[in-house]
Amino acid sequence: MNSLFKLIGSLISRLTLLILIISAASTVAAAEKSGGSLSGYVRDSKSKETLISATIFIKGTKLGAYSNKLGFYHVHDIPPGKYEILISSVGYTKISKEFTIESGKSIRHDFLLEKTEVFTESVKVMADREVERREITISKINVPISQLKEIRIGGESDVFRSLQMLPGVLSSSQISSGLYVRGGSPDQNLVLIDGAPVYNPSHLFGFISTFNSEAIKDVELIKGAYPAEYGGRLSSVLNLTQKDGDREDIGAQLSIGTISSKLSVEGPLGDGAFFLGGRRTYLELVKAAFEDPETPFPDFNFYDLNFKVTQDLTDDDKLMLSGFMSADHMAYDMRGVDMALDLGNYMLNGRYTRIFSDEAFLTANVSYSQYFNKFSVDVNGNDYLIDNKIIDYTGKVVLEWFATNDLTAKFGGEISHYDFNYLQDFSGDTEEEKTDESGGYMKMDIKDMNYAAFAQANWNSEDFYSLQGGIRIANFQEAGKTVVEPRLAVKYDIQSDLSIKLAYGVFHQNLKLATQPDFSFFDTWLPTDGTIALSRATHYIASIETKPFDEYDLNFDFYYKKMENINELNRYSFEGQTAGDVFYTGEGDSYGAEIFLQKKYGDFTGWFGYGLGYINRKFDEINDGKTFNPKYDRRHDIKLVGQYTLNKDWSFGAQFTYQTGQNYTGYTSIFRSRLPGQNYGKDKTLYSDYYGLRLPASHQLNVNATYSFTTFGLESKLHLDIYNLYNRRDIWFRYYNTNTKEYTDIELIPILPSLSFEIKY
């Protein structure tokens, strides 16, 4: 079987290069065409904020485009004549405008769309079928942020928790915002915000992610076989875009909840706009009302802060500066235990964009990203410390080329510098006594450089099929390896509302995450340093997309992912200087099928998703070398989300999930051993295989209602949500009590109602 997949991979690699050659040849023929072009930005009519994924469609033709991540669109080589242009976007009233296109002439025009509560989709459906030919979007989920914000957990709308409501995206528990995508662990997801990488974007205990939904305007998740523009991770890409801010008026929005509050301010600044948003919990204040002095809760709080500034240098040159910071603090001092935990993220990103011509669009990013955690505990005078930090400096340049309506291409390069610092001190020695040989003492300071270059092209035939090929070359300095990663996707339109897509890709990852499965706040990032091999994954995906009836999209995805040189934490290693001292190396695969039925538009929106997935892992040092299913192998995964707008005042929502119980390692039997003739003996317990037992199934229903009104003439909303409506408590972990001979379940969150008030100026 492996030899067959290698043969298929080799053939597809050569086909990918052939597509790039064909694409280049097509540009020569395209140069002889003499049509006109239409380009510009799509913006909100009130705030002048750019809109992403708006559809521009030329009625009576098969020509059109989507606005990109910066709101820019381009339609190339339009035959001369008079046309009606249709423009639409989710949550906005569609508009039309007439243009006369002249041969060889370029028209630059910005379209302004007005927000609407209800959006009918008859025109956009037709346009999408044509416009999508420009890019093959296999395994890509793009749920409007307006819908994601209506999924509220504990009073908070949260991007990561909302994405867990999609098929093929799992969580490890009720309190985890980590994304397990098609058998991959959270560290195998490339998380970008405004193009900059972010590490471990969760607040303490994982119940809430670090991304304030009020600061986000677009969410794009690619669950596999993503294009050559992205690399460095094995499983998926999550690409978030922050709000630019209102270019016309100063505005503010305040939300007050039972456990946290949020405030955002935006407005015009120079030739652009700014956005500033912040959120903070106050659990340390609330807990005083119900805390039992005999069983105290830890002091705990977190905050996050988002900002973005955009400036138009000229009509063709734009500059953006964005960033965010988050920090969590927990402290516990009781009964001889003094414990403190601090963790957080800092990110600063600068982006420059340049429109060279109607056909060429440049984006350049320079970013700084830092993740840190520090855990210290003093137990009756014995000190323990874990201090971990990763700093990432990345520069990336991408040139987007609209060669013709049938050919688009992207080229680019990326450089990253990493600084890893890790200190683990369980030695108990004083500062003067500590050495690298001290027992329980581990210190690492590693620097690494990564380089990558990529090229990808999308070519469409006149009628039925599209090809998307790419290649990425990456060099990992610390590992001493250079790798070549081919990517390929094919789309065939059987009829106007039925398509088949196939995709293949090779991916490598040099970053390793050492973490405890139940306690993500101990996450430690380390690079591949030559003592272990680069992780590698090969994706194979087949997809069927159709529209069973108006306004509904139905997708079937089938996938197989082969993973090599993946890693598992060596929990018995308390000393070491290399990644090989910290990790076991093994292999694995995941495969399955997903169904996704979605309705994006109208008074009623939502989706139904079902995923069937199998995850296998094999390490020589674990489970006696036998294959096992890891904790996040949930097998059956059902998601049902519905949102209904009754009128301008009331809206309602509900979310139901069902997942096969997670795997765990536990005792399976107990017996008493004794020597012949003895009447006494010693109890002995036997463990299951590694993750050889499974907890009961997890299922849960959340409901919410929103009432819109005015307060002193200002837009206001009152949100009521009930988490875990029928009080089905998830099991965090289970342990066996050798004294009572019984299992004890540590349960998670019960029914949790919450109320929040929001006012907007």
Domain boundary among 99, 134, 169: 134
307 and 424 part of one domain: yes
215 and 128 part of one domain: no
Tens of pLDDT along 696-751?
A: 988 989 999 999 999 888 888 898 888 888 988 887 777 766 666 677 777 777 88
Q: Name, of 163-172, 392-401, 596-605, the range with top average pLDDT.
A: 392-401
Of the listed ranges 19-23, 185-189, 212-216, 466-470, the least confidently predicted one is 19-23
pLDDT of residue 4: 46
323, 541, 666 from 624: Cα distances, Å:
46, 32, 16
pLDDT of residue 543: 94
- Find the mean pLDDT for residues 126-155: 68
116 and 234 part of one domain: no
Q: Do residues 490 and 532 touch, judged by C-beta distance below 8 A?
A: no
- Find the mean pLDDT for residues 324-330: 85
614 and 638 part of one domain: yes
- Residues with Cβ within 8 Å of 677's Cβ and at least 6 positions away in sequence, in order, are none
Alpha helices, H only, 299-364: none
Length of the chain: 761
109 and 151 part of one domain: no
The verdict on residue 597 lying in a domain is yes
For residue 574 the two structure tokens come to: 């308390």
The verdict on residue 14 lying in a domain is no
- Using pLDDT thresholds of 50, 70 and 90, give the confidence band for residue 295: low
pLDDT of residue 126: 45
pLDDT of residue 29: 44
The verdict on residue 23 lying in a domain is no
Domain boundary among 134, 167, 182: 134
Report the alpha-carbon angle 302-305-308, nearest 5. 165
Tens of pLDDT along 253-288?
A: 888 877 778 899 999 999 999 999 988 877 666 556
pLDDT of residue 433: 55
169 and 267 part of one domain: yes
Alpha helices, H only, 529-572: none
CATH for 62: 2.60.40.1120
For residue 446 the two structure tokens come to: 């590693």
Which of 490 and 171 is assigned the larger pLDDT?
490
End-to-end, the C-alpha distance of the chain in Å comes to 62
Of the listed ranges 3-12, 64-73, 429-438, 685-694, the least confidently predicted one is 3-12
3-state secondary structure of 695: coil
The verdict on residue 10 lying in a domain is no
Sheet containing 81-88: which strands, arranged edge to edge? Answer: 64-66, 55-58, 81-88, 95-101
Q: Is 351 exposed, middle or buried (0-12, 13-18, 19+ CB in 10 A)?
A: buried
The verdict on residue 11 lying in a domain is no
Phi, psi of 517, rounded to the nearest 5 degrees: -55, -35
313 and 446 part of one domain: yes
Distance in angstroms (rounded) separating the CA atoms of residues 707 and 50: 28
pLDDT of residue 125: 43
Amino acid at site 761:
Y
pLDDT of residue 436: 54
- Residues with Cβ within 8 Å of 373's Cβ and at least 6 positions away in sequence, in order, are 341, 342, 343, 344, 386, 387, 388, 521, 522, 523, 524
- Find the mean pLDDT for residues 242-259: 87
Distance in angstroms (rounded) separating the CA atoms of residues 350 and 192: 13
| Helix (H) / strand (E) containing 742 | strand 742-747
Tens of pLDDT along 481-505?
A: 999 999 999 998 888 788 899 999 9
Q: Are strands 64-66 and 55-58 parallel, antiparallel or unpaired?
A: antiparallel
**What is the chain's mean pLDDT, rounded?**
81
pLDDT of residue 275: 95
Instruction: Tell me the β-bridge partners of 306.
Output: 277, 324
- Find the mean pLDDT for residues 12-31: 49
CB atoms within 10 A of CB 391: 17
pLDDT of residue 322: 94
pLDDT of residue 427: 62
Distance in angstroms (rounded) separating the CA atoms of residues 144 and 402: 26
pLDDT of residue 266: 93
The verdict on residue 469 lying in a domain is yes
The verdict on residue 748 lying in a domain is yes
- Using pLDDT thresholds of 50, 70 and 90, give the confidence band for residue 633: confident
- Counting residues of the chain whose pLDDT is more than 70, the rounded percentage is 80
110 and 199 part of one domain: no
Domain boundary among 87, 114, 134: 134
pLDDT of residue 386: 80
Q: State yes or no: pLDDT of 588 exceeds 70.
A: yes
3-state secondary structure of 386: strand
Q: State yes or no: pLDDT of 22 exceeds 70.
A: no
175 and 65 part of one domain: no
The verdict on residue 22 lying in a domain is no
Instruction: Tell me the β-bridge partners of 453.
Output: 413, 473
**Strand ranges inside 183-271, DSSP E:** 189-193, 196-197, 216-222, 236-242, 251-256, 260-269
Listing DSSP states for 54-113 in one string gives: -EEEETTSS-EEE--TTSEEEEEEEPSEEEEEEEE-TTB--EEEEEEE-TT-EEE--EEE
Q: Do residues 234 and 262 touch, judged by C-beta distance below 8 A?
A: no
206 and 288 part of one domain: yes
pLDDT of residue 557: 94
- Find the mean pLDDT for residues 589-618: 91
CATH for 428: 2.40.170.20
147 and 79 part of one domain: no
- Counting residues of the chain whose pLDDT is more than 90, the rounded percentage is 27
Instruction: Tell me the β-bridge partners of 399.
Output: 362, 411
HEC letters along 465-491:
EEEEEEEEEEEECCCCEEEEEEEEEEE
Tens of pLDDT along 76-125?
A: 788 888 989 999 887 788 898 998 888 888 888 999 998 875 544 444 44
156 and 106 part of one domain: no
Number of domains in the chain: 2
Residue 566 belongs to what domain range?
A: 140-244+253-760
pLDDT of residue 64: 82
Q: State yes or no: pLDDT of 552 exceeds 70.
A: yes
